[in-house]
Structure 1
Amino acid sequence: MQNLQVLDLSHNYLYGSFHANISLPSMKSLNISNNKFDGPVEASLCHNSSNIEALDLSNNYFSGEVPSSIANCSSLQQLILNANGLSGTLPEAIFELHNLKELQLQRNGFSGQLDARIGKLAYLVKLDISDNRLSGAIPDIFMRLAKLDHFAAGSNNFSGPPPYSLVNSPSISSLYLGNNSLTGPISINCSAMIRITHLDLHSNAFDGWIPAEISACHHLTYLSLGRNQMMLPSELPSGFRSLKALRHLLLTEGSLVNFHAALQTLQHSGNLTTLIMNQNFMDEEIPQDLDLQFPMLKTLVIANSQLRGSLPLWLRGCTKLQVLDLSWNRLSGTIPAWIGGLSHLFYLDLSLNSLTGGIQEGLAEIVILRSHGNSSIIDSSTVVSIYYRTPGRRSLKYNDIWSLPPTLDLSSNMLTGPIISGLGNLGQLHMLRLQNNCLSGVIPDTLSGMENLEHMDLSHNNLSGKIPSSLIRLNFLSYFNVSFNRLEGAIPSGGQFITFPASSFMENKDLRGPLDWNHYQGPLPAEEEEMSFMDQFMLPFVVGAAVGMVLTVGFCFVSGWVFR
């Protein structure tokens, strides 16, 4: 073992304390990541292996402070401690590791201020201190970090404006400062930051408006500025049309106006794949310009904006679209048949609008949802973190697009007619949400073909007949709700149905089961109990949603269907 240079024990199920008192004088690289080691990081870590250049303890359960003896690892070039339970201030000993090129401390519990002595690490290329409890101002030391390419300090409690040397750094290509309390106007010197490709400043307290100067960052591929205090309504700077490399743009709550002009500008970014602009363009008409073209677009999320009008025909040309969320708007008209031609679309959310007409047969023709088996259908190259709403939870989850469940959500509209039998062909669908409409007729027996379905909500409609017994074949179904309809007959027994509460079947015509379902007065299912999908976004619209529900019921009554 005296000549051992590389020891890799990663991705196992090793647990307990990691004892580092073995003499390995030739050791260059030690990797014990992705195990279940716990307890403190041993002070003797480098006493007998002082030549270690790469040390990876990430994704374990180490706790306590980093020992000052880490300074004995004087040859370290790579120190990776992320995703543990480490705490305390950043140890001074780390600032003596002058050969460090990569320092990853994210997803721990480090607190206190970021010591300016970190500027002594002149060879740093990657520094990640995100997801900790660090506070105070970010020190103005980045001119001393002339090789720094990647700096991530998001999800801390940093305050004040970003330092001058940071927003003028000529070496940094990736800058992540989202989810802090940074203030002042957004000030990025693109003429100095000549290598910047990724810029994330979301969820801070920046004020003013979206600066036109950002359009001079010609190499930007990822830009996230949403959820700040930019309360001054303004148009998207027309200079953004020069961001030819831009692929991901996230501008939630950007106080933007003139939706049509924004789209005309953004279509010049021919590589744009992700466009998320929730809570902008409030109460505007959704543009219907047929000349709009977004041929590479995979994700479009413009929710909670009170947009008016019908689903625009230009979306038909977005043939690569995977995620479309236009929920919490005031869209009207029918669901167009051409949506079924978007062959890559696996997540469609048109909920909480005023759409009318029937469920189009084309929705059952979406190619990517028609395959069978439980293999992933999602293009993992579309990896970008977004806020998305999860049924049954009061807060938004910050997740990657590839983790979104394949979903068809048409809930809380004014849809009429039957549930089309063709939906049963969507074998890859995980969530089917049709509640709070005016749907009538029977529940199709063919829905049992949705073999991966986990969530089905058909409540608050005017469905009649029996619950098909074939639905017991839906082995992954964990949520089922048909309450407030006109169903009758025996409730299927067996399969997942033995797990559903009586409240899933309440207020129907004559359903029979092991309990007296019609008079059950227990709590509503968990999802109804926590109905607010986008609580952080929708508080101003609660009253409007309630009024919308009343109007929906009225519409159903006029159309000839009456809720019980």
Structure 2
Amino acid sequence: MDCEIGSASTQVLAGNISSSLLSLYHLRYLDLSCNRFDEIQIPEFMGSLHKLRYLDLSMSKFIGRIPPQLGNLSNLRYLNLETYSYVRLDYSFNDGTYSTDITWLSRLTSLEHLDMSSVNLSTIVHWLPVVNMLPTLKVLHLPNCQLGSSPDSLLLSNLTSLETLHLRGNNFHKRSVPNWFWDITSLKHLDISFNGFYGPFPEEIGNMTSIVELDLSSNSLVGMIPSSMKNLCNLERLYSSRNNITGSIIELFHRLPSCSLNKLQKLIVPDNNLIGSLPNTLVESLSNLSWLDLSVNELTGNVPMWLGESLSNLSWLDLSNNELTGHVPLSIGELTKLRSLALHSNNLDGVIHGDHLSRLDMLEELRLSDNSIAITVSHTWVPPFSLKMIHLRSCQLGPKFPRWLRWQTQAVSLDISNTSISDMVPGWFWIAASSVEFLNIRNNQITGVLPSTLEFMRAISMDFSSNQLGGQIPKLPINLTRFDLSGNHVVGPLPTKFGAPRLKTLVLYNNMISGAIPPSLCKLRLLQLLDLSRNNLNGSITDCLVNESSTSMTKMSIINLSLRNNSLSGGFPSLLQKCPDLIFLDLGDNRFSGTLPAWIGEKLPSLSFLRLRSNMFYGHIPVELTKLVNLQYLDLAYNNISGSIPRSIVNCRGMTQTIYTSHHLRYPYSSIFTFGENELVHYTGNLMVLTKGQERLYTGEIIYMVNLDLSCNNLAGEIPTEISTLLALKSLNLSWNNFNGKIPENVGDLMQVESLDLSHNALSGEIPSSLSALSSLSRLNLSYNNMSGKIPTGNQLQTLEDPASIYIGNPGLCGPPLSRECSSQPEPIPEHHEVASNDMVSFFLAMGSGYVVGLWVVFLTLLFKRKWRASWYSLYDGAYVQVGVTWASLRGNLG
């Protein structure tokens, strides 16, 4: 059933269904499909409409138990109970319809068509014997019913009339043979996809000689398709994507039905290419196949040269995501009925030119992405087709803009990203692409500016990232939901009117955008992902201009906000109080100042990543910050934060639970928006993390990073013992502060930590022996503290690089890897102010040495450069006179 429930263009029924229907004594046909009977059950009284032959209740949002009274409709020939189902964000199913006992079906002895798609039948074990009692059944749809079993066989099958069997998505998880449906030779349409069937492709397929459409997709079938498939002379559509088909693609083609070519089989020699040289009068179509989908398998070898002649009835060919090599054969051009050609994600190479494409008048989809194919056609070539989907990512199209695209004015999806185009975008391109809904030209060297007519395009998603486009951002298309212009040369301020009221994703990082963030951004109420990092933005972040009379205007939908590496100033943006769904916030490397507000813990309950690095924030870490139970990444480094670490940091579950789920993080930080098989707009957030002593760029994997970085502040006091409860931490950096006291004894509980930096503090006492238990540790820095005693050894501590530097600046430490023996008298440990005094002595010694060197440079210069010496003395005389006059004046005033 195909219907859009409740759409603006569809009028639907709702509410209750009146029992007055029973007054229609002679009713034979009742269709209530595609309505919206929210949260009501199918009425039991419908079982009293005894004359019904046709009943369709599909996709009308019924809930609850299917009434067994429907079994009283003994005259029914058609029954459709397909339920509306979807998966919630928590990966659970909605509350649709269900049945715990379907024995009532056995009374519908005239039934020919039964559809119970997505009805929950999970508690029913013996469902097949009931279905087997319907001898007239021709069509059976039971997809996504959560059926728990599939019997091996039926002792006596009554399903001799069954022509269509649809069992998709029931997750049977059993061997492909034996299974009861292989014995039903009357079947014309069989769909067992997404069921977890495993083992070899069954030879029994060859017994289903009536089969027209066979869908084996998304199982775990292995090996080569059986040679018995040659017998399936009526087969028109074969779907076997996402299995584990291995071996040569030429061998596979030889196992496809070839009923009309039996007389030529003995002429096919092992090189498998002889057919291509046979006389045209002898070459006939190998089969009736019109639809062949073998994508996402492990097929190898070259696409056969004779493909076009042997499968000339094909209208759909999908060999994508395999391991095919070699050139695209010229005979592809013989597939004159072809509407879709999908060869993307293989290892194909060579050239495709006009002769490959000039006879494909009916072609609507051309998908060749992620190969090493060069498309080389004449500058004046006019294609015979009008494509709706053009996916050529990572093919060779450049360096000039492919002129043949000028004629593709009906395209809905266009991907020419990473195609080596280094040319100015021509004006005709924007006209030809005006109908494109999904447009991707990323990762080229395309120059020019975005046209002022951009707002009139039909685009839903646009990705222009990693090019050399300049100019300012014009008003955006009204239907646009996702826009990526990052990594270009865009200048000027952000537009005062963005357009695109449905915009959800706006990615503009790494440009030269200047000025302040305009209030127009606040009007984008659906915006979820905003990345303006690495630009020249300045000023404070203005609050939104809110219509006080409308409560709906008080909330924004932002989930991911990155403003890092700009020159923004002012306090922590109060605007963020209107963003309760915020998960990622990066304000690092700006000029923000002031204290951190206490409302962060209350107004931003979903916050998981908070990066405020390299600003001018001061004051204490607010205790309310630790109310953020999802917080797993906190970076306050390089600010002026003072006070101590709140002991309530133990409340941050994101840092304490090693198996903490992060499903809710995946969408806002790493998003791939797809159309068909190809990605159209790709965004992976980028974040610089200082860990293991160096800055690393994290992209999509940042969602798994658990980090606490408070380095380079003015924090003091003891490191709280609660820090040892943050068991999920992978990086902990408290360096360059004023922490004193001992390192917590249980620091060895941080089993996930890979980088630990406590250097440049005033920590004292012995190093806890539990440090040696940190099996994941790859970098440790305890330098420049006041620690003493023997350095612990063993386990991971013995594998760290440059071990001596880890402990430098701690005169009281002894034992390996230091040369100081623990048996000798340790040197006295200076107090903290003494260390400061020593630092001051070192400073003045260095300054004095600098003066001496500077004077020698001046002396040698004057000794060997006459002109400079004369200038110097002239300057000296003037200065001497000025000093003398000033001194005399002062003496006179004092007198």
The TM-score bracket by the shorter chain reads 0.7 to 0.9
The residue number in structure 2 matching 1:373 is 659
**Which residue of the other structure, out of 679, 685, 688, is the alignment partner of 1:389?**
688
C-alpha displacement of 1:94: 4.9
CA contact (8 A) 1:83 1:106 kept: yes
Residue pairs, 1:61-76, within 5 angstroms? 61-76=323-338
Higher RCO by CA contacts (8 Å cutoff, separation 6 or greater): 1
Residue aligned with 1:368, SS: helix
CA contact (8 A) 1:178 1:204 kept: yes
CA contact (8 A) 1:95 1:118 kept: no
Aligned residue pairs, count: 516
CA contact (8 A) 2:455 2:478 kept: no
C-alpha displacement of 1:362: 4.8
> What's the CA shift string for 1:514-533, capped at 9, x where partnerless?
644789xxxxxxxxxxxxxx
> What's the CA shift string for 1:79-111, capped at 9, x where partnerless?
444444444444542565444444333333445
1:193 and 2:428 correspond: no
Q: 1:253 to 1:73 in 2, by over 3 A?
A: same
**Which residue of the other structure, out of 489, 497, 510, is the alignment partner of 1:253?**
510
**Which residue of the other structure, out of 398, 407, 423, is the alignment partner of 1:135?**
398
The residue number in structure 2 matching 1:530 is none
Higher helix share: 2
The residue number in structure 1 matching 2:214 is none
- Cα distance in 2 for partners of 1:16, 1:464 equals 68
CA contact (8 A) 2:584 2:609 kept: yes
Residue aligned with 1:408, SS: strand
1:218 and 2:481 correspond: no
> What amino acid sits opposite 1:104 in the alignment?
R
C-alpha displacement of 1:402: 6.8
**Which residue of the other structure, out of 583, 586, 594, is the alignment partner of 1:298?**
583
**Which residue of the other structure, out of 14, 19, 22, is the alignment partner of 2:254?**
22
> What's the CA shift string for 1:19-46, capped at 9, x where partnerless?
45414235422324254x5554444555
- Cα distance in 2 for partners of 1:398, 1:59 equals 28
C-alpha displacement of 1:119: 7.0
Q: Please say which of residues 176-185 and 50-59 is displaced more in the overlay.
A: 50-59
CA contact (8 A) 1:279 1:302 kept: no
The residue number in structure 2 matching 1:545 is none
> What's the CA shift string for 1:377-411, capped at 9, x where partnerless?
54333243223336579997584377552333334
Residue pairs, 1:349-368, within 5 angstroms? 349-368=635-654
CA contact (8 A) 2:342 2:367 kept: yes
**Which residue of the other structure, out of 713, 722, 726, is the alignment partner of 1:426?**
726
CA contact (8 A) 1:330 1:353 kept: yes
> What amino acid sits opposite 1:336 in the alignment?
P
Residue pairs, 1:134-533, within 5 angstroms? 134-140=397-403, 144-168=407-431, 169-187=433-451, 189-194=453-458, 196-211=459-474, 213-214=475-476, 217-232=477-492, 234=493, 236-240=494-498, 242-259=499-516, 261-262=517-518, 264-280=519-535, 281=537, 282-288=566-572, 290-292=574-576, 293-311=578-596, 317-373=603-659, 376=662, 378-382=664-668, 383-384=670-671, 385-389=684-688, 399-400=699-700, 403-475=703-775, 477-486=776-785, 487-488=787-788, 489-494=790-795, 496-503=796-803, 505-507=806-808, 509=810, 515-516=817-818
> What's the CA shift string for 1:289-312, capped at 9, x where partnerless?
535522343333344445455546
Q: 1:368 to 1:208 in 2, by over 3 A?
A: same
CA contact (8 A) 1:378 1:402 kept: no
> What amino acid sits opposite 2:504 in the alignment?
R
> What's the CA shift string for 1:132-160, capped at 9, x where partnerless?
55422333555643442222233343233
Q: 1:253 to 1:38 in 2, by over 3 A?
A: same
Residue aligned with 2:421, SS: strand
Residue aligned with 2:435, SS: coil
> What amino acid sits opposite 2:509 in the alignment?
T
Gaps of 5+ in 2: 1-228, 257-286, 538-565, 672-683, 822-831, 843-895
> What's the CA shift string for 1:31-90, capped at 9, x where partnerless?
24254x555444455554444454444444444443333334555444444444444444
Q: 1:192 to 1:53 in 2, by over 3 A?
A: same
Q: Please say which of residues 117-126 and 98-107 is displaced more in the overlay.
A: 117-126
- Cα distance in 1 for partners of 2:595, 2:500 equals 29
> What's the CA shift string for 1:246-275, capped at 9, x where partnerless?
22222223434454x43x432322222222
CA contact (8 A) 1:507 1:518 kept: no
Gaps of 5+ in 1: 520-552
Residue aligned with 2:254, SS: coil
CA contact (8 A) 2:692 2:755 kept: no
CA contact (8 A) 1:114 1:138 kept: no
- Cα distance in 2 for partners of 1:96, 1:459 equals 71
- Cα distance in 2 for partners of 1:115, 1:395 equals 49
- Cα distance in 1 for partners of 2:522, 2:412 equals 30
- Cα distance in 1 for partners of 2:726, 2:357 equals 54
Residue aligned with 2:448, SS: strand
Identity of aligned residues (%): 25
Tell which structure's C-alpha radius of gyration is larger. Answer: 2
> What amino acid sits opposite 1:124 in the alignment?
L
Q: 1:456 to 1:273 in 2, by over 3 A?
A: farther
CA contact (8 A) 1:285 1:309 kept: no
Q: 1:302 to 1:375 in 2, by over 3 A?
A: closer
- Cα distance in 2 for partners of 1:424, 1:405 equals 17
Q: Please say which of residues 41-50 and 109-118 is displaced more in the overlay.
A: 109-118
> What TM-score does the superposition give when structure 1 sets the normalisation length?
0.75
- Cα distance in 1 for partners of 2:378, 2:597 equals 52
- Cα distance in 2 for partners of 1:329, 1:402 equals 22
- Cα distance in 2 for partners of 1:116, 1:518 equals 78
CA contact (8 A) 2:597 2:622 kept: no
- Cα distance in 2 for partners of 1:517, 1:375 equals 46
- Cα distance in 2 for partners of 1:225, 1:163 equals 18
CA contact (8 A) 2:464 2:484 kept: yes
1:8 and 2:240 correspond: yes
- Cα distance in 2 for partners of 1:115, 1:435 equals 64
Q: 1:443 to 1:396 in 2, by over 3 A?
A: closer
> What amino acid sits opposite 1:278 in the alignment?
S
Q: 1:328 to 1:117 in 2, by over 3 A?
A: farther
C-alpha displacement of 1:14: 4.3
> What amino acid sits opposite 1:227 in the alignment?
G
C-alpha displacement of 1:123: 5.0
Residue pairs, 1:549-564, within 5 angstroms? none
CA contact (8 A) 2:641 2:715 kept: yes
Q: 1:416 to 1:275 in 2, by over 3 A?
A: farther
C-alpha displacement of 1:335: 3.5
> What TM-score does the superposition give when structure 2 sets the normalisation length?
0.50
The residue number in structure 2 matching 1:529 is none
Q: 1:427 to 1:394 in 2, by over 3 A?
A: closer
- Cα distance in 1 for partners of 2:409, 2:248 equals 40
- Cα distance in 2 for partners of 1:400, 1:41 equals 35
